[in-house]
Chains A and B, each alone.
Chain A
Amino acid sequence: MNTTTAPVSLREHVVPVEAGAHVVGAHWLGSTLALALADGRVLRWTDSVSDQVEAHAGGILCACGDAERLMTGGDDGRVVALTADGGPAELARDEKRRWIDAVTLSPSGSLAWNTGRTVHARDDKGRVTSLDLASTPQGLVFAPKGYRLAIGQMNGVSLWYPATQTKPEFLDWKGSHLDVVWSPDGRFVVSSMQENALHGWRLGEKPSHMRMTGYPAKPRSLSWSHDGLWLASSGADAAIVLPGRRPTGQGAARMRRPPRQGHPRRLPPQGAGPRGRL
């Protein structure tokens, strides 16, 4: 009995979509693909039929979404929600037109975004609270459970309960923190850093540090496996997948270094010495 089937090329299932501008974010709204574009448009594509919506007057800087809505933040200072078939709905507008650098959604539908150095959180009932920071946040992510927000900023990550007056907890680590992710079990927060590195904290009474350095480029894309056991990261020629849980230990344990061969770009300075070809 012959049980093998002829190999099917993945390419047969790939359809190119011409977006016409830099794609800031791609998100599935059911069977509709929504592409947030750097020129302010959102392109919606359903089974080879597409339409486009002028979501922002300027450009789109960030995007996120859940099963029903695409959320976009723009350089027109607006946060806009879009469904698979409706028109754009403005959720927030900054009078000074400050850039919306980051936007994020929680599993229960809470929304957070920034205008300049202020972070705003809107719970699932529409109540908005704001928090002023010392620097412009670049990464926002809600905890997997509960109304708590992690904010990546200069010299650390803040953990903020927007519904309470409590002072945010500050996870301190010198440098510029870019994107932030929270592990599915809520125990770990990991940020990507300017110095081509990841920094993580195991949360608890005394958060402990984790470091992952040596990426050839900034690891700007991070994603946990569903079981929370692995964290995949960009920043190298190959996706680097790290064990999300490590044996308990003291201090800043260094995880294994990623492969760094074959990356086409020059390495930035790693030490105090001069860069480049000198």
Chain B
Amino acid sequence: MADTAPAFQKTPVTVLTGYLGAGKTTLLNRILTEDHGKKFAVIVNEFGEAGIDGDLVVGADEEVFEMNNGCICCTVRGDLIRILDGLMKRKGKFDAIIVETTGLADPAPVAQTFFVDQDVGDATKLDAVITVTDAKWLKERLKDAPEAKNQIAFADVIVLNKTDLVTPEELASVEAAIRAINPYAKLHKTERCALPIDQLLDRNAFDLDRILDIEPDFLESGHHHHHSDEVRSMSFTIPGDVDPEKFMPWINDVSQAQGPNILRSKGILAFKGEPRRFVFQGVHMILDGDLQRDWQAGETRESRLVFIGRDLNENELRKGFEACAA
């Protein structure tokens, strides 16, 4: 068999989440059966029940454990490390890997596995977290299932499925509920998960070089329901440079003190005296950042942060960030 990917390239991994019955398996089957000429290795939960089979379908038991590194929210998927290690010995048999999680899974341990385990990080790269949601039942689930909320908050791509089962008004309302939690994900409205798979794969959502812009995909309306356990996003902008001597300690403190409540974070920053943009992203307490390309002529040097999380104190975070201004 011809090698389908050069040996030096990291194999992209797409994580597929979604609450029970939202249509994950339908989407997975669509990805696998559509005529795209790509080969996938698929890691599924509840082996045998997913209705898919093949050489490169692997059953996984979600074995989450805490790293002994003093970081309480640093949980990873041990089974995923083991399975990816086994799959990567057969590199060249497939172009990409898809990980399907259970309906009740928290996506964070899956994502953190790619940052924490060096062998996994060396051989593969997390491409995106895709969350499938059910237009008819999502609003109910957001009330009673924290997992459903986490999955929306964590997503890079949201497939709002079963739109044929609701009225246009209901659809607008469920979309607003999603956007209140996560205005940054790409959202696709579908029936039976019908959408072109190039909208799902090769997203590079975790690639620092591809975080060009963190403008919301959807402008958040000012309307918020405030109750405990609220998951939502917030963004802060400083119209100019920040002082890295102030910003670095601050962001480290924030991520350590509030890491368990911060689901995802991203930032593009202008450091004083630095011609390049500083870009970072985070999952809970794990931060990954680097100086990237130059600020271009005509581009406004500004510093911007986004947090998606639970029970975050917006005023405190804003004040803390604004104090980092150069």
Smallest CB separation, B282 vs chain A (Å): 7
Asked if B251 is at the interface of the complex by the 8 Å CB criterion, the answer is yes
Most-contacted residue by chain A among B81, B82, B116, B252 (CB, 10 A) = B82
The residues in B between 26 and 79 inclusive whose CB is less than 8 angstroms from any CB of A are 47-48, 55, 58-59, 61, 63, 65-72, 74, 76, 78-79
Which stretch from A162-170, A238-246, A268-276 is at the chain B interface?
A: A268-276
Residues of B within 8 A of A155 (CB): 65
Bound CA span A59–B58, Å: 12
Asked if B115 is at the interface of the complex by the 8 Å CB criterion, the answer is yes
Asked if B229 is at the interface of the complex by the 8 Å CB criterion, the answer is no
Choose among B122, B256, B289 the residue that contacts A273 (Cβ–Cβ < 8 A).
B256
Bound CA span A96–B236, Å: 51
Residues of B within 8 A of A194 (CB): 65, 67, 76, 78, 81, 117
Given contact pairs A96-B59, A99-B86, A272 touches B286 in the complex (Cβ within 8 A) = no
Bound CA span A195–B117, Å: 9
Choose among B55, B67, B290 the residue that contacts A58 (Cβ–Cβ < 8 A).
B55
Residues of A within 8 A of B289 (CB): 274, 276-278
Asked if B207 is at the interface of the complex by the 8 Å CB criterion, the answer is no
Choose among A24, A136, A217, A275 the residue that contacts B61 (Cβ–Cβ < 8 A).
A136
Contact string against B for A residues 148-183, beta-carbon threshold 8 Å, 1 for contact and 0 otherwise: 000000110000000000000000001110000000
Contact, CB under 8 Å: A96 / B290: no
Asked if B119 is at the interface of the complex by the 8 Å CB criterion, the answer is yes
Residues of B within 8 A of A276 (CB): 287-290
Asked if B118 is at the interface of the complex by the 8 Å CB criterion, the answer is yes
Asked if A108 is at the interface of the complex by the 8 Å CB criterion, the answer is no
Closest partner residue, chain B, to A37 (CB atom): B89
Contact, CB under 8 Å: A274 / B285: yes
Bound CA span A195–B58, Å: 25
Asked if B271 is at the interface of the complex by the 8 Å CB criterion, the answer is no
Asked if B255 is at the interface of the complex by the 8 Å CB criterion, the answer is yes
Residues of A within 8 A of B122 (CB): 265
Asked if B90 is at the interface of the complex by the 8 Å CB criterion, the answer is yes
Contact string against B for A residues 2-13, beta-carbon threshold 8 Å, 1 for contact and 0 otherwise: 000000000000
Closest partner residue, chain B, to A265 (CB atom): B118
Closest partner residue, chain B, to A270 (CB atom): B69
Given contact pairs A75-B58, A99-B58, A277 touches B290 in the complex (Cβ within 8 A) = yes
Bound CA span A270–B255, Å: 16
Asked if B323 is at the interface of the complex by the 8 Å CB criterion, the answer is no
Asked if A145 is at the interface of the complex by the 8 Å CB criterion, the answer is no
Asked if B280 is at the interface of the complex by the 8 Å CB criterion, the answer is yes
Choose among B90, B119, B282, B287 the residue that contacts A38 (Cβ–Cβ < 8 A).
B90
Smallest CB separation, A116 vs chain B (Å): 7
Asked if A93 is at the interface of the complex by the 8 Å CB criterion, the answer is no
Smallest CB separation, B123 vs chain A (Å): 12
Contact, CB under 8 Å: B70 / A278: no
Residues of A within 8 A of B252 (CB): 273-274, 278
Smallest CB separation, B279 vs chain A (Å): 11
The residues in B between 123 and 161 inclusive whose CB is less than 8 angstroms from any CB of A are none
Residues of A within 8 A of B68 (CB): 174-175, 193, 195, 197
Contact, CB under 8 Å: A278 / B248: yes
Q: Do most interface residues of chain B lie in helix, strand or loop, or is the interface mixed?
A: mixed
Bound CA span A195–B76, Å: 12
Bound CA span A125–B66, Å: 41
Residues of B within 8 A of A278 (CB): 248, 251-252, 280, 287-289
Given contact pairs A101-B86, A136-B63, A274 touches B255 in the complex (Cβ within 8 A) = yes
Residues of B within 8 A of A266 (CB): 118
Contact, CB under 8 Å: A269 / B286: yes
Bound CA span A136–B79, Å: 8
Smallest CB separation, B290 vs chain A (Å): 6
Choose among A59, A98, A135 the residue that contacts B90 (Cβ–Cβ < 8 A).
A59
Contact, CB under 8 Å: A271 / B89: no
Residues of A within 8 A of B79 (CB): 136
Bound CA span A197–B65, Å: 16
The residues in A between 100 and 148 inclusive whose CB is less than 8 angstroms from any CB of B are 101, 116-117, 135-136, 138
Given contact pairs A195-B69, A269-B69, A272-B285, A38 touches B89 in the complex (Cβ within 8 A) = yes
The residues in B between 81 and 138 inclusive whose CB is less than 8 angstroms from any CB of A are 81-83, 86, 89-91, 115-119, 122
Contact, CB under 8 Å: B63 / A274: no
Bound CA span A135–B78, Å: 9
Residues of A within 8 A of B63 (CB): 135-136, 154
Choose among A75, A98, A138, A271 the residue that contacts B47 (Cβ–Cβ < 8 A).
A98
Contact string against B for A residues 47-59, beta-carbon threshold 8 Å, 1 for contact and 0 otherwise: 0000000000111
Given contacts A276-B287, A276-B290, A278-B288, 20 further A-B contacts (CB under 8 A): A75-B86, A96-B47, A99-B86, A101-B82, A135-B63, A136-B61, A193-B68, A197-B68, A268-B117, A269-B71, A269-B116, A269-B286, A272-B69, A272-B72, A272-B74, A273-B252, A273-B285, A275-B287, A276-B289, A277-B289
Cβ contacts A to B, 11 pairs, < 8 Å: A58-B55, A96-B47, A175-B67, A176-B65, A194-B78, A194-B81, A268-B117, A269-B69, A272-B71, A273-B285, A274-B282
The 4 closest A-B pairs by CB, nearest first: A274-B287, A38-B89, A22-B89, A272-B71
